[in-house]
Amino acid sequence: MSHDTAIHSLQGRRYLVTGATSGIGQAVALALCERGAAVVALGRRPEALQALADAGCETHALELTDSAALEQLIEATGPFDGLINSAGITHVESALTLPADAIDDVFHTNARASAVAARCVARGMIAAGRSGSIVNVSSQAALVALDDHLAYSTSKAALDGITRALCLELGPHGIRVNSVNPTVTLTPMAQKVWSAPEKRDPMLAAIPLGRFAELEDVVEPILFLLGDGAKMISGVCLPVDGGYTCR
């Protein structure tokens, strides 16, 4: 497949993007629009949804943990050629003091909502006879232990488990399922969180490439996994971490 063919393989296809009002999800939604795909973008921030609408996305405000509302919206807006599960929250706290409610909140958004979205999108794809690709935005925290990340790490490890389970079940229908597992990615929020040298420098020292990920460093692998250039890749949890997890 030529480079041009791989780029154009997203044109005219229809994708659902969750967590589209910030960070990786927003960047993916905009990149898909730029490449000629039709995008249905879900998020919670009205002003960010308006910016996506102005860029050509169909937008919907939704609380993803409301499974019934999520299912209804997917049934009403599908079928799709793929899904990018980018919605995620975190709660950074010692495992010794982490409240049970915080664990539930993180799991409900990062794992359960992603599983619900994936199965609903997949059902529509199968009914319409469409093959395609689902990409879950996981984390390096699913692959290695990080201090104070019990809820986040285990929720993202669960998401990687969802990726593998869906790969097995959906493969016979021509639907591929993969995860990307980024390191610290310099969204506006991350830039603030990781600006303090005492926090930033030890993490950078553990990344062989010596830098954090920019948004495009994560977006481009996602677009690759969605496109025809990755048509034999499924069930992969792909570190996008500058080598952090090689240790």
- 152 included as an active-site residue: yes
Single out the catalytic residue among 156, 192, 199, 244: 156
Give backbone dihedrals phi and psi of 42, rounded to 5 degrees, phi first.
-110, 140
d(CA 187, CA 65): 23
CB 142 within 8 A of CB 111: no
> Which is the catalytic residue, given 15, 152, 192, 244?
152
Query: Could you confirm whether 231 is annotated as catalytic?
Result: no
Residue with tokens 């000629």: 36
Nearest Cα neighbor of 180 from 227, 239, 134 is 239
| C-alpha closest to that of 152 among 114, 109, 192 | 109
Residue with tokens 């570190």: 239
Helix or strand run (H / E) with residue 228: none
Q: Are 183 and 173 within 8 A, CB to CB? A: no
CA–centroid distance for 242 within its chain: 18
Q: Among all residues, which ones are annotated catalytic?
A: 152, 156
